[in-house]
Amino acid sequence: MARDPRYDVLFEEVKIGPVTAPNRFYQVPHCNGMGTQYPSSMAAMRGVKAEGGWGVVCTEECDFHHTGDVTPAIEARLWTEQDIPIMARMVESVKRHGSLAGCELVYGGMAGHNLYSRDVAMAPVAIPMEGTAPGQARAMDKTDIANFRRWHRQAAVRARDAGFDIVYVYASHNLCLLQHFLAHRYNTRMDEYGGSIENRVRLLREVIEDTKEAVGDTMGVAVRLCVDELIGAEGIQANEDGRAAVELLADLPDLWDVNVSEWDKDSQTARFSEEGFQEPFIGWVKEVTNKPVVAVGRYTSVDRMVSLVNKGIADFIGAARPSIADPFLPRKVEEGRIDDIRECIGCNICVSADFMNMPMRCTQNPTTGEEWRRGWHPEQIAEKGSDGRVLVVGGGPAGLEASRALGQRGYAVTLAEAGTELGGHLNRVSQLPGLSTWARVRDWRIGQLHKLANVEIFLDSKLDANQVREFGFDHVAIATGSSWRGDAMGSTHRTPIEGIHEKGILTPNDVMAGAELEGPVIIYDDEHYFMASVLAELAASQGHKVVYVTTAPDAAHWTHNTMEQSLIQKRLIEMGAELVMGKHIAQIGDQEIELACNFTDNRSWMDRGSLIMVTMRDAHDALYSELVADPAALETAGIKSVTAIGDCLAPGLIAAAVYSGHKYARELDTEVPIDSPPFRREVMGLSNDWPGELP
């Protein structure tokens, strides 16, 4: 198919100083939990995006000096020449496809911690560290400032030597020294680097000038700037010093990559922000500079991207998450395949991997992070390994993805779903407050399945073991999902609370199915992800008084990893919910519950209406168990394999269910080792200097 002419503007070249981007699709720097620890994985992941048409592909944060070390985060690194080959691998992987490679140099300052190097961090003034204190940074004197400028210059040269086309001067996300100099709450210096905005911008200006002088004839020099910290007058504000900083530096850099800060504000989830949510804060930047501007805001709508350019808000469509969810987004636009775009759902599971220091994963894109180690390409898949016919039982995220990927391999697939629509638990979850974009996981897969003539779909088809055996398939995948328990068993209560079944307890399944609630509604969160908090919102929206009890120290505790925790807690407080933290249920009465403090075991009774248990889920594995319990019957039926996938195997994240379905499809009719890892590993290079001098 040909590209829609309305989208031509997205494929115009744009100059960034001495280099030229082939189009306006710009993968802004983003963390991925691979960095220098899994460099081949990182390089292959970036390369796939270039192949998918992103005209500029950047690194994650790249620390460049041992006094600005961002350990324990797994990021890129350019401390010395020793690091260049790793970064060169990523550059080569990107440039092979004609895209530009950008490097985001970072100096952590008071957000850096130096946990590996054990140096003392530096800041504009002596001040406690940001984040994982205890510890304080020391104030920089003029020698420190001169040293910092030299280190940045040296790093820019190393980035050039690694082959990068663009180098960043980074002042955003509250993660780096240059932003700390800009922010008046940190920078209370009395010299020419503190005080007025002219003074606070001085170091940024000097570093841009240094970088241009060092490499500016060969590389584009980009500035990534936080123009608003969204904390009011205490922080940088778009209508104050944010704008003043851009005005003062207007045409000095070759490109402005602007956003709001911190990272949780820049990468808000769909639950808390709309596509394009940053426009009110960055819309003015092009008025004050002639240099190209990059804007982010979880853009997945191509029309919206076009209007961003046509309205003069930005020259580049910046994307981190949309490029993770679909590395081939630009290519699909170019080929007129808009409905093949796999849109980001804005869940931040990708972000959670970075917080947990492990390779990135994505709810929508099961291949991310697996490009090199398993050889999974987001668009290509091996042809079927046999003419075997496959039955997939269950049409939730796991069954949908398995059927889709098996269909893509060319297998004859039958998908049987008990319900009258596909989507599994997502159908109801995506109707909960704030989660409508999650339906994209279902909708994209249904759209793809409809294009596959070799996949048959049967709705309203609840299968039992006899039926499965009668049909005569070669392989059967059981993707029958899970449902919530209502007996309190979970992370805290490792066994059910006795007698609980007579107490009229509700589960999330009951509530999502429309169970009548009675106030005060007590929601017991022993799972700590999103479910309890969205049910609290639902109950409050129906006018009930809500008591949110969690066994964790704060609301929706695990969502620290998706950067939603503070927003969730704020929302619960603002809607009038009573929050009870660090307690668990000791006893349940008919109209009350007894809570026990996790630390002291002090007890207190609380009146209750409805009690909703959010603890754990049970796999619907009865069909699977019945089938595998009778191998002779399977053999008679000609069934060669029966495999449980998704929540039926082990209830978990939607991302895990999608991954499980995808993995099943990839591995069918292949030899998968089980005594050793079924993927390539990156074993770190050993130093040549061993044993050297030992104490």
Binding mask 604-623 for ligand ADP (x = CB under 6 A): ----------------x--x
Which of the following is catalytic: 26, 31, 254, 493?
Answer: 31
Spacing of C-alpha 499 from chain mean position: 41
Least distance CB 651 / ligand ADP (angstroms) = 8
Residue 239: how many other CB atoms lie within 10 Å:
11
Residue 245's binding partner, choosing from ligand ADP, ligand SF4, none, with beta-carbon cut-off 5 to 8 A by kind?
Answer: none
Q: How far is the CB of 416 from ligand SF4 (least distance, A)?
A: 27
Catalytic residue status for 173: yes
Give 407 or 646: the residue with its C-beta nearer to ligand ADP: 646
Q: How many residues bind ligand SF4 (CB under 6 A)?
A: 13
CA geometry: angle 91, 96, 97, nearest 5 deg: 110
Judged by CB, which is closer to ligand ADP: 271, or 442? 442
Which DSSP letter does residue 489 get?
A: B
Smallest distance from ligand ADP to CB 43, Å: 32
Q: Is 98 left (phi over 0), alpha (psi -120 to 50) or beta?
A: left
Paired residues of 103 in beta bridges: 167
For residues 625-664, which are near ligand SF4 according to CB under 6 A? none
**Is 48 a binder of ligand SF4 (CB under 6 A)?**
no
Q: Which of residues 638-677 bind ligand ADP (CB under 6 A)?
A: 646-648, 657
Of 107, 170, 193, 624, the catalytic one is: 170
Q: Per DSSP, what are the bridge partners of residue 489?
A: 493
Q: Is 325 in the site for ligand SF4 (CB under 6 A)?
A: yes
Q: Does residue number 394 form part of the binding site for ligand ADP (CB under 6 A)?
A: yes
Give whichever of 30 and 663 is closer to ligand ADP, judged by the CB atom.
663
266 is catalytic: yes
Q: Under the criterion CB under 6 A, does residue 348 sit at the interface with ligand SF4?
A: yes
Positive or negative torsion for Cα 667, 673, 674, 679 = negative
Q: Which residues pair with 224 in a beta bridge?
A: 170, 257
Which of ligand ADP, ligand SF4, none does residue 395 bind (CB under 5 to 8 Å by kind)? ligand ADP
Binding mask 359-378 for ligand ADP (x = CB under 6 A): --------------------
- Nearer residue to ligand ADP within complex by CB, 458 or 605: 458
Check binding of 482 to ligand ADP (CB under 6 A): yes
Q: What backbone phi and psi angles, to 5 degrees, belong to 212?
A: -65, -40
Say whether 482 sits in a helix, a strand or coil: strand
Angstrom CA distances, 59 to 94, 105, 114, 404, stand at: 10, 9, 20, 31
Q: What is the end-to-end Cα distance of the chain in Å, rounded?
A: 68
Using CB under 6 A as the binding criterion, the count of chain residues that bind ligand ADP stands at 27
* Known catalytic residue at 170: yes
Strand, helix or coil at 546?
strand
C-alpha span between 193 and 203 (Å, rounded): 7
How many angstroms separate the CA atoms of 344 and 490, rounded?
31
The site map against ligand SF4 for 592-631 (x = CB under 6 A) is ----------------------------------------
Contact letters for ligand SF4, residues 473-502 (x by CB under 6 A) = ------------------------------
β-bridge mates for residue 258, sequence order: 225, 295
Residue 671 CB partners (closer than 8 Å, separation 6+): none
Q: Does 508 bind ligand ADP (CB under 6 A)?
A: no
Nearer to ligand ADP by Cβ, of 333 and 623: the residue is 623
Q: Is 664 helix (H, G, I), strand (E, B) or coil?
A: helix
- 7 is a catalytic site residue: no
| Binding residue (CB under 6 A) for ligand ADP from 173, 243, 425, 440 | 425
Residue of 169, 175, 197, 349 that binds ligand SF4 (CB under 6 A)? 349
361: Cβ contacts below 8 Å, ≥ 6 apart: 349, 350, 353, 368, 369, 655, 659
Gap between the Cα atoms of 398 and 659, Å rounded: 7
By CB under 6 A, residue 350 contacts ligand SF4: yes
Per-residue contact flags (x/-) with ligand ADP for residues 30 to 69, judged by CB under 6 A: ----------------------------------------
Q: Residue 471 — left, alpha, or beta (φ > 0 → left; ψ -120 to 50 → alpha)?
A: alpha
**In whole angstroms, how close is the CB of 17 to ligand ADP at the nearest point?**
48
One of 225, 258, 344, 585 touching ligand SF4 (CB under 6 A): 344
In 526-649 the beta strands, taken as DSSP E runs, fall at 546-550, 578-580, 583-588, 592-597, 603-607, 611-614, 617-619, 641-644
Binder of ligand ADP out of 276, 330, 346, 399 (CB under 6 A): 399
Residue 556's alpha-carbon distances to 370, 540, 569, 587, 636, in angstroms, are 29, 17, 8, 23, 49
Give me the least distance between CB of 158 and ligand ADP, in Å please: 45
Q: Which residue type does 580 have?
A: V
- 363 makes contact, choosing from ligand ADP, ligand SF4, none, with CB < 5 to 8 Å by partner type, with ligand SF4
What is the footprint of ligand ADP within residues 450-479 (CB under 6 A)?
461-463, 479
CB of 476 to ligand ADP, least distance (A): 11
Binds 362: which of ligand ADP, ligand SF4, none (CB < 5-8 Å by kind): ligand SF4
DSSP 82-130: GGHHHHHHHHHHHHTTT-EEEEEEE--GGGT--TTT-PPPEESSSEEPS
Candidate ranges 53-61, 138-146, 319-327, 392-400; the one touching ligand ADP (CB under 6 A): 392-400
Q: How many helices (H) and strands (E) does the chain have?
A: 23, 28
Q: Taking the complex as a whole, how short is the minimal distance between the CB of residue 624 and ligand ADP, in angstroms?
A: 10
Cα distance between residue 555 and residue 566, in whole Å: 8
DSSP letter at 493 equals B
Of 24, 286, 321, 442, the one binding ligand SF4 (CB under 6 A) is 321
The yes or no reply on residue 269 touching ligand ADP (CB under 6 A) is no
Contact residues: ligand SF4, CB under 6 A = 321, 324-325, 344-350, 362-364
Contact residues: ligand ADP, CB under 6 A = 393-399, 416-419, 424-426, 461-463, 479-482, 620, 623, 646-648, 657
Active site amino acids: 31, 170, 173, 266
